[in-house]
């Protein structure tokens, strides 16, 4: 979802607070009174941290409810039964014998599970208990208590009970929210990214957070539009709330209560769900109804059902760095170095001089014909899917692409077909000349993405290719660059926000072809026409440029969404606004996948001021 024109009108006086004590009780009737009162009394603090719209507050509260089990307590519930310890933790973390020994002993459970990680000083200390999950947005472990204490200027590492007090706990949560700019993800209604920013790349508790958002929006914030808050309209991609039973099915799958392939549409699914619920109810000491009654829903929303995964998985990034920084891959020796303000690159038409012998060689033609499209893991859905056999969903409705039969003009001659080896076979992408020797493209045309990924090699680039002709020659590559977030993210769903890169050529072919300009995109471009210009692998004959037009439907801070028709091979294509001349404002990255708005729209990586600075750096090398 995107929020369009959402602002508090200066001409309308608010008839009520954005969130009140009664509002919180509507979301979670069993919320602790003192914790609810602390939120209701913190209007000035929320304003200081920019949480001043319904959507931002709904997201903030949905995360708080997820972290605290409905705002019932500010410390993590470590009161596990033996059966729950065995179900939720692996035997690597706790043996059956140890589970029997520590069950229903919260301090001992915490010291065993957390004592030797997150900066804690061993299972023989009380660190696991002292630094258990605490706060409205919970922090866990001595190292995190120390870091957050510096952020809010409170000695919570020396006195961890402070983090479990309403005032200090809320200050810590708001400091965390602002430090990670979670308001931007909330404005986009990007629930997964909000959860990643709160919990980390694994986004544990994501299904629970969606349930709590449903409750917050449906029970409280949907009705506040007429009370002097936002005067703009919300444009929903697939609706702002989801079916609650389906969300609880997700929770049950993630908790291991039903199989991963459980489907509510299959015959017998209701009986299977009922039996799973009865087993869960018995384990948690609830009445065995086999139904999603209120008590069972509350138990499934307990952080016990997801927080154990934080203890199970320890991700150690190679380094902590800004995901918007650049990473360089030297394509001659295989080493990597790091790159570190003008705000645009101006277009240049070049000389347009055509080569004397424009035909591709037989070897070049064969390599280009044999090559296949490359797709990002996040679009394919799993690392095990082979790009060679993946079929994208990226032609939306009637195919309106138009063929370019003469690539000698501008900007056609600055559009580049890119051939490279992905480690298994040769692949194709599109790119755009942005300097005499630099091609802007998608990150997944350079590296497979995430810390587990690999860089690609053996680049051959043909600007203005026209079927069997290379009117301006061809080049190799000496270096490639991506945003740090593309190669240092832990998951592909996190990496997709940083799918951007560039290739440094071994020649100055841009002096002939010219290059397109690059600039940032303003937030007021919604509904304006979009243009995608690239090489599509599903069209005949191979090696022809195609142009697709649509309009900008949704704009997030890091991504944009449209329904321009694309296909494999178009990855890395320039995205232009029809009124912006020969300037690129984004790079096409993917077709339909996942949840909304990704499920209904193709997407591009947006050029932001920070990224513009990085692109200028790449082009100037």
Residue 571 a catalytic site member: yes
Tokens of 168: 């200090």
Whole-angstrom CA distances from 169 to 35, 288, 557 are 10, 36, 29
Nearest alpha-carbon partner for 63 in 212, 252, 285, 267:
212
Torsion, Cα of 392, 398, 404, 409 (10° steps): -100
Backbone angles phi and psi of 429, in degrees to 5: -140, 180
444 is a catalytic site residue? yes
Is 129 in contact with 136 (CB distance < 8 Å)? no
d(CA 170, CA 345): 44
**Residue 267: exposed, middle, or buried by beta-carbon count in 10 A (0-12, 13-18, 19+)?**
exposed
Helix (H, G, I), strand (E, B) or coil at 412: helix
Number of H helices, E strands in the chain: 23, 21
Q: Helix (H, G, I), strand (E, B), or coil: what is residue 492?
A: helix
Find the catalytic residue in 373, 571, 573, 593.
571
Segment (H or E) for 82: helix 82-88
What are the tokens at 512?
């002939």
SS3 of 143, please? Answer: helix
Q: What is the largest CA-CA distance in the chain?
A: 84
Q: Is the CB of residue 328 less than 8 Å from the CB of residue 482?
A: no
By the 8 A CB rule, do 579 and 528 touch? Answer: yes
User: Which tokens in the block code for residue 300?
Assistant: 């499934």
> Of the listed 59, 204, 444, 588, which one is catalytic?
444
Please give the Cα distance from 368 to 388 (Å, whole number).
Answer: 14
The residues annotated with a catalytic role in the active site are: 444, 571
């Amino acid at each position: 979802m995107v929020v369009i024109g959402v602002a508090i009108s200066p001409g309308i006086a608010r008839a009520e607070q954005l969130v009140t004590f009664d509002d919180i009780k509507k979301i979670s009737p069993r919320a602790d009174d003192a914790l609810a009162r602390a939120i209701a009394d913190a209007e000035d603090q929320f304003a200081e941290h920019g949480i001043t719209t319904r959507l931002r507050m709904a997201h903030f509260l949905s995360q708080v409810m997820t972290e605290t089990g409905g705002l019932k307590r500010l410390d993590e519930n470590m009161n596990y039964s033996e059966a729950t310890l065995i179900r939720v933790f692996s035997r690597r973390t706790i043996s059956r014998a140890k589970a029997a020994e520590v069950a229903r002993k919260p301090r001992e459970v915490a010291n065993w599970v957390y004592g030797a990680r997150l900066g804690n000083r061993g299972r023989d200390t009380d660190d696991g208990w002292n630094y258990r999950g605490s706060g409205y947005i919970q922090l866990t472990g001595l190292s995190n208590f120390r870091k957050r204490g510096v952020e809010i200027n409170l000695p919570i590492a020396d006195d961890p009970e402070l983090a479990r007090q309403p005032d200090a706990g809320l200050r810590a949560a708001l400091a965390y929210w602002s430090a990670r700019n979670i308001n931007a993800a909330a404005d986009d209604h990007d629930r997964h990214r909000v959860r990643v920013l709160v919990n980390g790349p694994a986004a544990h508790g994501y299904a629970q957070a969606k349930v709590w958002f449903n409750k917050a929006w449906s029970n409280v914030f949907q009705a506040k539009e007429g009370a002097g808050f936002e005067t703009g309209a919300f444009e929903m991609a697939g609706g702002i709330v989801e079916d609650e039973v389906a969300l609880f099915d997700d929770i049950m799958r993630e908790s291991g209560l039903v199989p991963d392939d459980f489907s509510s549409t299959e015959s017998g699914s209701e009986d299977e769900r009922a039996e799973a619920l009865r087993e869960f109810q018995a384990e948690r000491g609830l009445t065995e109804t086999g139904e999603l009654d209120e008590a069972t829903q509350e138990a499934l929303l307990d952080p016990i059902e997801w927080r154990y995964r934080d203890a199970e998985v320890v991700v150690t990034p190679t380094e902590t760095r800004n995901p918007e920084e650049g990473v360089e891959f030297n394509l001659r020796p295989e080493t990597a170095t790091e790159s570190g303000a003008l705000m645009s690159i101006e277009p240049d038409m070049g000389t347009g001089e055509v080569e004397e012998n424009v035909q591709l060689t037989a070897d070049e033609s064969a390599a280009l014909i044999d090559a296949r499209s490359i797709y990002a893991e996040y679009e394919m859905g799993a690392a095990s899917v082979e790009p060679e056999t993946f079929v994208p969903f990226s032609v939306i409705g009637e195919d309106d692409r138009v063929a370019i039969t003469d690539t000698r003009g501008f900007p056609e001659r600055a559009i580049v077909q890119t051939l490279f080896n992905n480690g298994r076979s040769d692949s194709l992408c599109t790119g755009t000349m942005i300097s005499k020797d630099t091609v802007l493209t998608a990150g997944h045309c350079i590296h497979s993405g995430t810390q587990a990924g690999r860089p690609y090699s053996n680049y051959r680039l043909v600007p203005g290719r026209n079927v069997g002709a290379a009117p301006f020659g061809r080049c190799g590559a000496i270096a490639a660059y991506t945003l740090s977030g593309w190669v240092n993210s832990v998951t592909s769903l996190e990496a997709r926000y940083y799918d951007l890169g560039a290739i440094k050529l071994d020649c100055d072919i841009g002096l002939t072809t010219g290059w397109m300009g690059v600039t940032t995109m303003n937030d007021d471009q919604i509904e304006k026409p979009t243009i995608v210009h690239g090489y599509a692998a599903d069209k005949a004959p191979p090696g022809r440029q195609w142009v697709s037009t649509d309009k900008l439907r949704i704009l997030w801070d890091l991504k944009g969404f449209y329904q321009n028709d694309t296909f494999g091979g178009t990855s890395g294509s320039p995205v232009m606004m029809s009124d912006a001349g020969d300037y690129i404002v984004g790079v096409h990255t993917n077709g339909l996948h996942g949840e909304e708005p990704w499920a209904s729209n193709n997407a591009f990586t947006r050029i932001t001021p920070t990224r513009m600075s990085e692109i200028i750096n790449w082009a100037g090398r």
